[in-house]
Amino acid sequence: MPMANKNPSKAPVPGYHPITRWLHAMLVLGVIFQLACAALMAHPDHVDQKAMAVKTQPPVHKNDKLGDVFMGAHRTGGILVAFVALANLLWAVVARGHPRKRQIAVLFAAQHWKKAVSIAKSLPLIISDKKNLPEPGNALSRVFEMLGILVMSAMAMTGTVIWNLWAGLGYNVSPQAEWVMEIHASVAVFLLLYLAGHISMALIHARAGDPVFARILPLEKSRWLK
């Protein structure tokens, strides 16, 4: 049953630019793939600092062939996601002046942050059907989207640093890699929170009758979207 806070539509909201649609789809699929691989892969062997100090610890690696496959897939997927995240950032900069494209400029405008905070404070009322949903493309959604892209970019950058500091399967990670891995894992928590919030709001909008998926998915004319 649709939610009671469905906004009256003055005119149909146009869909996102095709480039935005495809970049969004590739980023979503890439992040899901990376998270799945991270849960199944063989993690790097952690160094024994005392043994390392006297140089008596040889490289150690557990025999986990399937885990190694997922580790390799995670590495390859990370490179691809890094390029997609970079393309998203470049597109956000190039298209920042268009109302239906990604706009990274919202992160540097105080009025957008004020509007975003105001909408965020109203979320409990919106979820409980006591207040209307904000219009599509509102300040909160744009700020949230740009922060999500920055978080994904941070994941890609820290992942790249880890691979440059770690010799690969069968080798212990260096102390520097250990430190960067902790940052990588911490950023991953923010990524999970971002995905949960992003998907939840999209479902709330869809339940209220807003064709949000038709506007953002690249195959918006598919029969199953009608």
Q: Report the interhelical angle of 175-207 vs 139-165 (nearest 10°).
A: 150
Which residue, 138, 128, 31, is CA-closest to 74? 31
Alpha-helical segments (H) within 62-138? 65-94, 110-121, 123-127
Which residue, 18, 47, 12, is CA-closest to 178? 47
For 28-39, how does the pLDDT look when each residue is reduced to its tens digit (9 = 90+)?
Answer: 899 889 888 888
CATH T-level fold of 18-218: Fumarate Reductase Cytochrome B subunit (1.20.950)
pLDDT at 88: 84
For 21-76, how does the pLDDT look when each residue is reduced to its tens digit (9 = 90+)?
Answer: 898 899 889 988 988 888 888 766 555 444 444 454 545 455 667 888 888 898 88
Tokens 């109302």 belong to residue: 99
- 29 vs 41: CA distance, rounded Å: 18
pLDDT at 213: 86
* Residue ranges of the chain with per-residue pLDDT less than 70: 1-13, 43-64, 96-102, 167-173, 220-226
For the chain, the farthest-separated pair of C-alpha atoms sits apart, in whole angstroms, at: 73
On whether the CB atoms of residues 140 and 120 are closer than 8 A, the answer is yes
pLDDT at 101: 64
pLDDT at 221: 54
**Inter-residue long-range contacts of 17-22, CB under 8 Å, 24+ positions, other chains counted:** 17/95, 17/98, 17/100, 17/101, 18/218, 19/91, 19/95, 20/91, 20/95, 20/100, 20/101, 20/102, 20/216, 21/216, 21/217, 21/218, 21/220, 22/218
Nearest 5°: CA angle at 133, between 127 and 134? 130
- 113 vs 143: CA distance, rounded Å: 7
Looking at residue 168, the DSSP 8-state letter turns out to be -
